[in-house]
Structure formats: C-alpha cells, structure tokens
A and B are shown apart, each in its own frame.
Chain A
Amino acid sequence: MSLVTRRQFIKVGLAGAMLFAAARMLERPSAAAASRYRALDEQSAATVEAFVPVVLAGSLPEEPAARARAVREVVEAFDRAVSGLALATQEEILQLFSFLHFGPTRVAFAGLWAPVVDSSRDELRDFLLRWRASRFDLQRASYNALTQLIQAAWYGNSSSWAAIGYPGPPQLP
C-alpha cells in the first residue's frame, strides 16, 4: 500500500468509526422501549433475526416449526453471548446495529436501500459479501462479528449437532 492510499485508508477508517458512534447517538432507542433481551434492544434483535437465515443458509432445519424455533433460539443465544462481552465491545455491537438502522448510514455505507428487516435474503447476502471483501478494517471486523456471533449461537445449540456428525459430549462413568 503506498503512503497516500495508506493515509486515505486510515482517514476513511477513522471516519467510519466516528460514523458508527454518531449513528449510535442518533439511533439510540428510547429508554421507554422495554426489551425482552439482556443486551440487545428489540430492533437489534429483529435485525439479528433477519440475518440468521442468511448466515445459516444450508444449516437450519427445513421443517417450519423446527426452523422457527431454531431461529428464535439463535437470536436468544446471540443476545446471551453479547451480554457476556466486555462492556466496551457490547457498545460497539450496538453501534453497528445503529449504523444499520439509521437510514443515511445504511444506504450510504452498507448499500442497503431498505431497512434490514425488509431486505431480501439476497440483498443481505450481498451486503455481507461486500463487507467481507471490504478494504476497510471496520467493515471486515463488522462482518466477522455479525457472522461469527450467529454461527456461535447456532453451533452451541445441541439441535445443530446431528447435521454435522457431532455426537455431543460423552457420558461420564
């Protein structure tokens, strides 16, 4: 990377981080909105839910009731996992959701015209692929956080194990 592009890179990277924080300020849910969750607000939980079938395509059960239950459990486990992160990291995750909820940042930087919950699976997949290949650290880090938290939430759930041939922990004598 040449010096000039490196400088631009750092600048845009920092600007991105500031936008994350700004979106969080602007989009902070009102204190009145009670949440069923430990760390997430309802809107963030709905965003996670929209990403689950995209991140776990090919892994979730087909049968509708089992699938709905799996999606619900992944969202709950995602929330539990976030509640166990360092407080500063929890705040960063919430900033990421605010960034995805706030229309101007969502359109300009995530390339999603519609709110996440109204986007198609293809649109969400393409968004993840763009951030996966992004030249900005912040976007690749956000891609990693979103996908890995959903994957951890699913593969910690014993109902995911049969499909991958994992027998579960052994019985103790």
Chain B
Amino acid sequence: MIRDPIREGLAGWKTHDAAALDRDLELEADVAIAGSGAGGGVTAEVLAQAGLTVVILEEGPLASSSDFHMREREAYPQLYQESSTRQTGDKSITILQGRCVGGGTTINWTSSFRTPPRTLAYWKNTLGLRSMGEAELAPWFARMEERLSIAPWPVAPNANNDLLRRGCEKLGIASGAIRRNVKGCLNLGYCGLGCPVNAKQSMLVTTIPAALDRGATLVHRARVSQLVFERGRVAYLDAHGVAGNGVAPSQRRVRVRARHFVLAAGAIGSPAILLRSAAPDPRGILGRHTFLHPTLISAAIMPGRVDGHAGAPQSIYSDHFLDTHPLDGPAGYKLESAPMHPILVGITLPGFGEGHARLMAKFPDTQVTIALLRDGFHPQSRGGRVRLRPDSTPYLDYSMTPYLWDGARRAFLSMAEIQFAAGAKTVMPLHEGAQPLESWSAARAAIRELPMQALATRVVSAHAMGGCAMGMDPASSVVDESGRHHQVDNLSVHDGSVFPTSLAANPQLSIYALSARFASALAAALGKPAS
C-alpha cells in the first residue's frame, strides 16, 4: 500500500477547493502567490519558513498519488493545461504545461540541469545581468539540489535512453547521464502522468506540504483573473473558481489582499495575468520574447524490444550539438529521449489509417530521440508573444523562422545518424511527408529534401520560457534581477517567464534556484529574513 502524504495531511492544512465553494472567499496574507509549480512552490516554502503568511492560488486540482493511475486519458485532462493540447496560435506547436498543484513539476520527467554556463555568460555579458554569474548562482543550485534530492541516477538507463548513449558513443559524440529529483524511485516510467509512489520530489510532495505545515493556505481550482491596482500598487487579486472539468469558470470569486504579490503561473500564465490586469508596460515588452525549445522527434525501429514506456523516461542526454555551435551561429540543439505512451505516440506519429497502424504495430520496438532547439540567442530567433483571446484566456503566437527550420533539418539529420549508429532498422523523422527510411544514406537524402513547414513537421515543446524578461533596463525588461516588477513596487514574478532567452536545458532546476534566491530576498525585504 502506497502512502499518500497529501491526503494524510489535508486534515491539518488550510486548503480550499474553489470549484466547490458555496460562497465567495476573501483571504488576507503577507504574500499571495499565483501558481504552485517550480516557482510558486519554492517561493511558498521559503516565505512560510521565514514566518510570513502565504496564500497560494492554483488553477488546477489538488490531485495526489491516490489519483495517479498511470493512464494518459485520465492524466492529460486532469493535470495538463488544455488537456495537453495547448498549441501556439497557428496550431503548429503543441505545448505541454502542468495545471495542477505542483504545476509542471507534478508531470515533468525529472530531468535536472543547472543553467548552462554559456547561457549565464550570455545573460551577464550580452544582456548585462550582472548578478547571474555561475559563482553567484552556485549556492542556490546546491541548496535546491539538496532540498529536492537531485542526484546522479544510480540505475542503468532504460533501452530507449541507452540506445541514444550507444549511438552517440559509436559516432564519438559526447553524451552524459541526467540527474533526477527522485527519492525511492521504482523506475516505473510514468513520471509524466503523476508519480504514483511519491518518489519524484515535485513541489506537490516537498515545498507545498512544507508551506502548508507552516500555516500557508492553498486555494486550488482557482484561476487568477486579475490584479487590481490602487495608487500604483497591487491592492488585491481576484480569482474565479474553475468548474469541474477545469475549463469554464464557476460563479464563485476568490479575493486575496496582501502586502506583496508573486506571479508564478508559468511563461504563458504570468504574462497573461499582467495583460488582463493592464499592468504598467511602458515599452510594450510584456508577453514578448517567449521561448519554447521547439522540439523535433525522430522515431527508429530497432531490431528488438525497446519498451520505451518502462523505466525512467529521461536519463541520457547529449549537448554535443549545443557545445559545437556558437550561440549566435546556426541553431544548436540538445538531444534527449522521451517516454513512449500510447496516446502520446499515437498522435505524434504522422499519417492515419493503414500506414499509421503499421507504425503503431512497432510500438514496443520503437526508440524515440528528441532534439530541443536553443532559441532566443540569434536575431532570427526573437521568440513569440503571449496574447489574450476575446474571452481573456491566453495563447502564444510563436512562429518557426527559417533559422529555426534550418536547425530542425540538421537536428533530424543528427538524430537519424545516431539512431542508425545504434542499430536502427529504419528511422523516420516525424513529419507528415516522411516515410520510414532504411539506411543513413537514404535518410540523409530524404531529410535534405523534406519541406520544413508548419503543420507538416511535428514540433512540440515542454519548456515555455520568457514573457516577463528580467533585466537591468526597464526599457527592455519587465522585472529586475530580483524578480521585482520594474514599475510596481509590491509585485514580483518567480517562474520561467523571467528568463530573457531560452536556457538550452530542461528548466526546472533553473526555476527552483532563481525562485529560492528571489524569495529569500523578498522575505528580507518584508522584514522576515529567511533562515
């Protein structure tokens, strides 16, 4: 029997389900936090430990291990934004984001990387972010690594990952092992559907319970609609309950008054709250420069079973094609693999009917490699823009540029070469115009001719970043190097939306470390220095 620490804790915690309120709710706190993911969770723990009163608002439900059944058709509508179908405005890129207590950390694949030194150097030297050096951030990384049990993964990679390692090795390409935030992991492979055994050290089982133990209040299924300003400061925030299926707003309103407000609703959610609130934005920066690590996928049929649904989903990576490309040169890309679950594979493989059925029949023998493009460092990669629909829900306008398509084509070539080196019988770039290719030379010829086109090439993202860029200069950024809003004194942003470029690495650890630093400074500024 698996213990469920969340259900066990509920009796002693202050939590409200805003979808089930029978009257409007009014709360007061030192700090109100919108979002309970990597940024909101860490912030809540740091502030609560410093002795501040905290209210956390989360759009998604408080679901925990008893609710996690490792079934995609339950998990996507329950735990993901827009049932895992959130897309860019042109519908050409699918964006995976969490929408549940713990946010993305509840459904991510546990990959833990410090912000790459080259990215930090670019921020410092080119963008002038003086406090973002490797040495300045190192203690914050170390602190969060210890807090979340981030460590080398002692278990052998599953075949899906090991084939990436072997292919790289054959070609003399450097690869490495991914550190993971797990404790007592059973190597099941279902991290993306909510960890059923509470091994993943997500915010759901670490910082959020710790904050609740210290008296914080959690309001879940509450969508923050706007901040209300009085005399240039945020006076209160308004949220609405979200109806049962997580889509439509309910009648019930939640209003939170606080001394300070922290947005941690993610790189689409946080800019959207500010846009809805008509927050000061004198230079029209808000919501711009949003990055995605646009991700391409290559599927290989191997001679034997891969069973990519089983075992830690991501344990091997290669930064070779980042490290060998200058930041301002042709787009570089990080290589990883991805878990194989039937819906994810079914909707990602191109085509339909008999051809699609033949691809699906090879499900157990399929190895998947993914390439995450480094966006945001080149004049032809300026990112997307968060906008509001007429019903005030957000969407992201983001277009693949010729620069990024060039990176996509080279990524397809690299992945195919590695997969053939690992012993693939066929390789198929995931693209509506592609066929399984039987040799590296055939693949090279076909990929060179493949039209790189939106809505034909499959492009996905699990890493939305930017939109509330941090910077020294209010003319080109939304928040300062402490996450404080340039124009509004009692407002901060603590999440991936503060990144001024993409990271070129999976973002969770970067968000943890920055949020810990921001929150500690905030606690001190509010008169309660963090311990």
Q: List 13 other contacts, CB 8 Å, given A81-B85, A141-B91, A141-B92.
A: A55-B353, A57-B357, A59-B357, A81-B77, A84-B245, A89-B85, A89-B87, A148-B347, A152-B73, A160-B342, A163-B361, A164-B364, A166-B364
Closest 9 CB pairs of A and B: A58-B357, A156-B73, A169-B70, A155-B346, A84-B83, A140-B455, A155-B342, A84-B77, A57-B353
The interface residues of chain A lying within 8 Å CB-to-CB of B90 are 137, 141
- Complex A-B: 5 CB contacts under 8 Å: A87-B248, A140-B455, A141-B92, A151-B346, A152-B73
CA distance A90 to B391 in the complex (A): 13
The reply to whether the CB of B196 lies closer than 8 angstroms to some CB of chain A is yes
B363 interface neighbour in A148, A151, A166, Cβ under 8 Å: A166
A117 contact set on B, CB distance < 8 A = none
A89 to B343, CA, bound (A): 20
Q: Does A21 contact B (CB under 8 A)?
A: no
Interface residues of B in 428-455 (CB under 8 A from A): 432-433, 454-455
- With an 8 A cutoff between CB atoms, is B20 at the interface? no
Interface mask (B383-395 → A, CB under 8 Å = 1, otherwise 0): 0000001110101
Q: Is the CB of B360 within 8 A of A156?
A: no
Cross-interface CB contact of A125 among B77, B353, B395, B432, cutoff 8 Å = B353
Q: With A and B bound together, what is the CA distance between A81 and B247 in angstroms?
A: 12
* B135 proximal to A (CB < 8 A): no
CA distance A140 to B455 in the complex (A): 6
CA distance A86 to B188 in the complex (A): 31
Do the beta carbons of B353 and A84 come within 8 Å of each other? no
Q: Are A147 and B352 in contact (CB under 8 A)?
A: yes
Cα A55 to Cα B355 in complex, Å, equals 10
CB-CB under 8 A from B86, the residues of chain A are 86
> What's the Cα separation between A54 and B356 when bound, in Å?
11
Q: In which size bucket is the chain A interface?
A: 35 or more
- Is A144 in contact with B455, judged by CB distance below 8 angstroms? yes
Q: Is B247 within 8 A of A161, CB to CB?
A: no
The answer to whether B342 and A161 touch across the interface, beta carbons within 8 angstroms, is yes
- List, in ascending order, chain B residues with CB within 8 A of A87's CB: 247-248, 391, 393
Give the total of B residues in contact with A, Cβ under 8 Å.
53
Q: How far is the CB of A56 from chain B (nearest CB, A)?
A: 8
Task: Find out whether the CB atom of A86 lies under 8 angstroms from the CB atom of B393.
Answer: yes
Q: Is there an interface contact between A59 and B82, defined as CB atoms closer than 8 Å?
A: no
Per the 8 Å Cβ criterion, residues 349-405 of B in contact with A are 351-354, 356-358, 360-361, 363-364, 389-391, 393, 395
Chain A residues near B7: list those with CB within 8 A: none
Contact of B188 among A88, A125, A163, A170 (CB under 8 A): A170
Residue of B76, B343, B364 with highest tally of chain A CB at under 10 A: B343
A169-B69 contact in complex given A58-B354, A58-B358, A84-B247, C-beta closer than 8 Å: yes
What is the distance, in angstroms, from B241's C-beta to the closest C-beta of chain A? 16
Q: Which residues of chain B come closer than 8 Å to A144, judged between CB atoms? A: 91, 455
Q: Is B345 an interface residue (CB 8 A)?
A: yes
Question: Is there contact, CB below 8 Å, between B2 and A172?
Answer: yes
Q: Is the interface of B mostly helix, strand, loop or mixed?
A: loop
Q: How far is the CB of B301 from chain A (nearest CB, A)?
A: 13
- Nearest chain B CB to A161 CB, angstrom units: 6
**Residues of chain A within 8 A of B356, CB atoms compared:** 55, 58-59, 151
| B window 65-107: CB within 8 A of A | 69-73, 76-77, 82-83, 85-87, 90-92
Q: How far is the CB of B48 from chain A (nearest CB, A)?
A: 32
Query: Cβ of A47: which chain B residues have Cβ within 8 Å of it?
Result: none
A57 smallest CB distance to B (angstroms): 4
A166/B346 contact (C-beta < 8 A), A83-B245, A85-B82 known: no
From residue 42 to 96 of chain A, which have CB atoms closer than 8 A to chain B? 54-59, 77, 80-81, 83-90
Q: Contacts A166-B363, A172-B196 given: A156-B357 contact, CB under 8 Å? A: no
Pick the most buried of A55, A56, A86, A145: most chain B CB atoms within 10 A of its CB: A86
Q: Give every chain A residue within 8 A of B197 (Cβ-Cβ).
A: 172
On whether the beta carbons of A83 and B357 are closer than 8 Å, the reply is no
Contact assessment for B82 and A86 in the assembled complex, using a CB-CB cutoff below 8 Å? yes
Instruction: Tell me which residues across on chain B come within 8 A of A165, comparing CB atoms.
Output: 361, 363-364
- Cβ-defined contact, A156 with B82, below 8 A: no
Whether A77 contacts B391 in the complex (CB less than 8 A), given A128-B352, A140-B455, A164-B360, comes out as no
